[in-house]
Structures are given as C-alpha cells and as structure tokens.
Amino acid sequence: MGGMTAQSPQGTAVSSDVAVPAYIFDHDDPAALFTRLQRMVIHLELLQAEAVRSFDVTFRDFVILATLRKEPAPHALEVSQIARYVLRPMGSISQGLDRIERAGLITRTASTDDRRKVIVALTDQGRSLADRMLSSYDATRDRVFARLGPDQLERIDAAVTDLLVALDANYLEHADNPETPKENP
C-alpha cells in the first residue's frame, strides 16, 4: 500500500502507510487539528476494544472497574463519584453497574453516612479481573508508546493535559447539570 509523508509542526517527517486524506496533515488549519484528534479517538477506541477483547466485559465497564481498582482499599466509590470521574450519565452508569454486579465483580451497599447514597466496591473477583485487564491495557498502550521517544511523550503529555483542562472547563461551563454527564449520541 502506498504511504503518505507529511511534515509535523516541528518539521519531522511523518509517514503513514494508512490511507489518509492530505488535509489531515495541514497544520495551519484548526479544523484539521480536530480531525486529527477525532482520528486519535478512533484509534484509541480500537486499542481499547483490543485490550479487553479476551475478557467478557465491555470497555465502558472496564473503565468502572479500573476506576474502582485505582482507589485505595477497599476500592469503593459512591455511584455519583464514578459517574463524574468517567463522564457518564447516572442511567448509563447504573446499567454498567447492573452488568458487572450480576457478574460478581462489584457489590453495592447503602452508605452508612447517608442511606440515599450507594457505595460500589470491587469484590475479590472484580479486583482480580481489573488487575488482569489493566495489565492487558498497559501492554496495548506500551506497544504504541514504544514508537515514541521520551521527549515526544513528555510534549504529548503536556499538550494533552492542557487540552483536557480546556475540554473539562468547557464541559462544566456548557453542561446543563455537571453532576450528570451527557451520553454521547
């Protein structure tokens, strides 16, 4: 397959064996930046699906499990906290929690401080699965990052962090209710 070579903003030759339109590499066009970001989203979604393919859990459910696993023991959060952390509406979170609770990966209990709040905690089985899935996800991520040097990764990390701060601020400013993230159409 014929590849394409373009210039990065730093003047580095960028080669792609994947057929992409030339405008994607137009660094003077802000719309092309969003197009590149959207293309990254598609690649990330493909990598995410690959990382969890051998487990009987969706990537969205994995995100819930990973979020709980990264919390200190007993690896528990309120449902509303999970929804905020993963930018998903409560209805979507509840459906995911139902699936992973039926699989024996989490428990849900009423908060001892406020019975209206529900606490979600990983079971031993959930913790074990989350660890295996995190290892798979890490290996997938590392395979991609191995193509980049340490300086490139630092620049990307800084730029993505800045963009994420801007996106989070925009989200909070324009969401009807920031406590209830909107479902993607």
Is the domain of 75 the same as that of 39?
no
Q: How many domains does the chain have?
A: 2
Residue-wise pLDDT tens digits, 121-169 = 999 999 999 999 999 999 999 999 999 999 999 999 999 999 999 988 9
Choose one of 38, 53, 68: the last residue of a domain. 53
**CB within 8 A of 50, min separation 6: which ones?**
140
Tell me the C-alpha distance between 135 and 155, whole Å: 25
Question: Across 48-175, where does the E strand assignment appear?
Answer: 76-78, 106-110, 118-122
Distance of CA 7 to the CA centre of its chain: 28
Tell me the C-alpha distance between 100 and 96, whole Å: 6
The model's pTM: 0.74
Residue 14 pLDDT level (bands cut at 50, 70, 90) = low
- Structural domain harbouring 34: 1-53
102 membership: H or E segment, kind and range:
helix 90-102
Q: Is residue 164 situated within a structural domain? A: no
Indicate the residue type of 19: A
